[in-house]
Amino acid sequence: MNDDILVLSDVCKSYDGVSVLKHLFLKVKEGEFLTLLGASGCGKTTTLRIIAGLDSPDSGNVVLEGNDVCDLEPNQRDVNTVFQSYALFPHMDVEKNIGYPLKLKRVPRLEIAERVNEILKLVQLEGFNHRRVPNLSGGQKQRVALARALVSKPRILLLDEPLGALDLKLRRMMQIELKRLQKLLGLTFIYITHDQEEALNMSDRIAVMNNGVIEQIDASDVIYNKPRTSYVASFVGNANIIKGLVASVENDAAVVKFCEQTFLFSKPGLKAGEELHFALRTEHVILNAPDSKFHATVVEKSFRGSMLRIVLKTQCNQEIVSTNFGVDSKLKEGDKVLFSWKDENIVLVDHE
């Protein structure tokens, strides 16, 4: 309870009558790496700006270390942001950029120089003190922005898609580095991304946002393996959503009708006639096994790197995607196939 460093409760925000955040609740634990994951436009940046104080909520509370900070200006909040565009000051060199927050705090000049050098070492930019900002590469700018946000030792660091503008290789490298820094400093990170892989790689917990609310907030593996909603399941790991109807219930298990066939699903408390949604990861779709019984047609076959991706269309016109690593298949477009899954690989979602 008391290790919550930041609590957003019932936060609403709308722009020009369009509501962007709808009764958002969020608790952030001290020292954790929390990722806000969600599609473009779902309100991630807005949430971050409200935490930073750059925007104010229409209603609801922002409580930082037990104090309501809603009426505090951004400069009065012990929270720093790394902007996606870096927002480095073009008229200052690297050293001046990083020293900026310290100068505002009237830290003596010698100490500023010392702390700037310290942090430059930390982000592996030693000796870059007098480089001019426009001449830095994307990755270097990123590090400077990070150093500038870290140097004044804020309680929480907010990062808005900080790696969005970097190429894949650099992004991987910076992911590892960010994680290293976060652990080293024991600092609370709130990190925005719409890259599920990035989120899964780095986070202690992931909050999946959809349309102005947080649909699920859990540890990365829980989000991946036990999604609670079909949105979470399809956004994180691109799961297939299987929609079935409970035909009958016997001994804590339901007979679920799907595509002219039935399968058993064990869970107490299900009722006949109920519509159920299940998440089935693409890598868990089994093709043409002896006990496969769902009919489908291959409509697309493609290679994604080392991965073979097959799109099926079921009898009831639903698309099912199957992926396999390193396995070639004689299947081609138009082939009829049977598919199935293992019982333990199917997850009930959108269900209280």
Ligand X SMILES: Nc1ncnc2c1ncn2[C@@H]1O[C@H](COP(=O)(O)OP(=O)(O)OP(=O)(O)O)[C@@H](O)[C@H]1O
Q: For the sheet containing 156-160, what is the strand order?
A: 79-82, 156-160, 188-193, 33-38, 205-210, 213-219
Nearest to 196 by CA among 208, 204, 179: 208
At CA 69, angle to CA 143 and CA 11, rounded to 5? 90
Q: Which does 188 bind (CB under 5 to 8 A by kind): Mg ion, other proteins, ligand X, none?
A: none
Write each residue from 45 to 84 as x if it is in contact with Mg ion (CB under 5 A), else as -, in one continuous string. x---------------------------------------
Residue 266 touches which member of ligand X, Mg ion, other proteins, none, C-beta under 5-8 Å by kind: none
- CB 160, min distance to other proteins, A: 10
| Strand bridging mode 336-340 / 294-304 | antiparallel
Ranges within 78-117 binding other proteins (CB under 8 A): 79-81, 83-91, 100-101, 104-105
What is the nearest approach in angstroms of ligand X to the Cβ of residue 334? 38
Cβ 267 to Mg ion shortest distance, Å: 38
Helix (H, G, I), strand (E, B) or coil at 217: strand
Kindly indicate which of the ranges 7-15, 141-149, 201-209, 222-230 contains the residues binding other proteins, using the contact rule CB under 8 A.
Answer: 141-149
Retrieve residue 343's tokens: 């019982």
138 near other proteins, judged by CB under 8 A: yes
| Residues 18-47 within binding reach of Mg ion (CB under 5 A) | 45
Burial of 209 (0-12, 13-18, 19+ CB in 10 A): buried
Residue 210 pairs in a beta bridge with: 213
Closest distance of CB 20 from ligand X, Å: 4
| Residue 83 contacts which entry, Mg ion, ligand X, other proteins, none (Cβ below 5-8 A, type-dependent) | other proteins
Q: Minimum CB separation from ligand X for residue 47, in Å? A: 7
For residue 196, give the 3-state DSSP assignment.
helix
- DSSP characters for 127-178? T-TT-BGGGS-HHHHHHHHHHHHHTT--SEEEEESTTTTS-HHHHHHHHHHH
Alpha-carbon span 161 to 168, nearest angstrom: 14
Residue 194 interacts with which of other proteins, ligand X, Mg ion, none, CB < 5 to 8 Å by class:
ligand X
Q: What are the residues binding Mg ion (CB under 5 A)?
A: 45
Q: What are the residues binding other proteins (CB under 8 A)?
A: 52-54, 73-75, 79-81, 83-91, 100-101, 104-105, 132-138, 141, 148-149, 152, 164-165
